[in-house]
Amino acid sequence: MDITDVKTIAIIGAGNMGHQLAVHCALCGFETTCTDVNTETLKKAESFAGSYLKGRVDKGKLSPEEAEKTRGRLLFTSSLKAAVENADYIIEAAVENLATKRKLFSELDMLAPSRAILATNSSRIVSSRIADATKRPEKVCNLHFFNPALVMKLVEVVKGPHCADDTVKVSYQLCEKLGKIPVMLNKEIDGFLLNRMLGALAKEALWLQEMGIASYEDLDKAAVYGAGHPMGPFRLMDLTGIDLEYMMRMEAFRNTGDRNDLPAPSVVERYMKGEYGEKSGRGWYEYGKN
């Protein structure tokens, strides 16, 4: 497959990452389908698309005609078959759970055209742990976008030992066509690049907070006003989702058996309360309706 062959993209999962990816792909000229097993999530995603495009028009960033064409390229459906049966490139953005992803990729393998590349947006699970659930392991890779996907430029393209050169080449070029800045990982590694660096910072910040050495507010201030970060590790955790932090740490623990990989007690506490950050209105910080 060549990048010129990629005309239709399917996004699997309409959550916080998936629905933004779908809108972005449509904005960049691709016929895009977005699907989710949760009909309420799908409705919210479709509503977001309409309000986002209207907002761009109101701000003069997009003409009414461009917004109409973009919306025409975007389809939301609860049918996985309908979403992928004509797709050239598929990006999975479902829950961060290995068993779920393996089951899903097995289904995608049966439903999608043989030409289609199957990419996972997982922030931690390497594609070699998923690829053998399909009959096209050479067409399976990691394509890790960052939240919010409509804004963040970086995408990590990860070449697993099973990946064909064409698969990663097309994936890299697709990122460029989407206006992103791709970085290539020539080998798989847990957490990839940026999350490994940010994870080390977050782990230390959580320890300092748990030990009562400093509050999370002051630790965030230190990162912003001392290191020049756009936001501190706790504010970033609220943005990406405390539930995601919890699930990633639990997945790491299941993989290694090392108790040091378990989520911090304060993260577990918020996860159990459903305090996931911005998406729930409360995490480390409180968020109003707007």
Active site residue 19: no
Active site residue 144: yes
Domain with 226, as residue range(s), is 195-279
CATH of the domain at 117: 3.40.50.720
Q: Which of 49, 121, 124 is nearest to 91 (CA)?
A: 121
Based on the structure, what is the number of domains in the chain?
2
Residue 275 CB-density burial (10 A; 0-12 exposed, 13-18 middle, 19+ buried): middle
- Report yes or no: 21 and 103 within 8 Å, Cβ to Cβ: no
- Report yes or no: 243 and 271 within 8 Å, Cβ to Cβ: yes
Asked whether the predicted pLDDT for residue 289 surpasses 70, the reply is no
Whether residues 42 and 169 share a domain: the answer is: yes
Which of 144, 171, 188, 251 is flagged as catalytic? 144
Which of 16, 122, 142, 195 is flagged as catalytic? 195
Model confidence pLDDT, tens digit, residues 95-105: 888 999 999 99
Model confidence pLDDT, tens digit, residues 129-187: 999 999 999 999 999 999 889 999 999 999 999 999 999 999 999 999 999 999 999 99
Q: pTM here? A: 0.83
CATH of the domain at 241: 1.10.1040.10
User: Does the residue 237 lie in any domain?
Assistant: yes
Active site residue 38: no
Whether residues 203 and 246 share a domain: the answer is: yes
